[in-house]
Amino acid sequence: MEATTNSPAGDTIDRVLTVQNKMGIHARPAAMIVRVTTKFAGEVYFEKDDEQVNGKSIMGLMMLAAGRGSQIRVTVKGAGASQLVNDLEALFARKFDEG
């Protein structure tokens, strides 16, 4: 599921990602996500169960308590949003390299 809009600041993309690794988003996967998102100059937010957190915050991501099978909506705003979403999709698909 993807919605894209164009604005002067760049694209806005919403996409739903599924947590597939066994332990969910704990400290290590949260750090991996932040490593990807901090390279992006725009805004990144993750949302689960009506709780939204900054996608550049390890603590925020861990507070989502996203276990295996959780659906998380990512919203990316700014130039290069599409590339960031692709990078995040790949990271989630790799199960954060945990198998």
Q: How much is the pLDDT for 26?
A: 97
* Structural domain containing residue 93: 2-97
Question: What single string gives the DSSP state of each residue in 29-76?
Answer: HHHHHHHHHTT-SSEEEEEETTEEEETT-HHHHHHT---TT-EEEEEE
Single-letter amino acid, residue 49: D
**91: CATH:** 3.30.1340.10
The Cα–Cα gap between 44 and 61 comes to: 11
Per-residue pLDDT tens over the stretch 40-92 = 999 999 999 999 999 999 999 999 999 999 999 999 999 999 999 999 999 99
User: 38: which residues sit within 8 A by CB, 6+ positions away?
Assistant: 56
How confident is residue 11, by pLDDT bands cut at 50, 70 and 90?
A: confident
Domain count, the chain: 1
pTM value is 0.89
Rounded CA-CA distance 28/13 in Å is 25
pLDDT the model gives residue 97: 94
The residues that are catalytic are 26
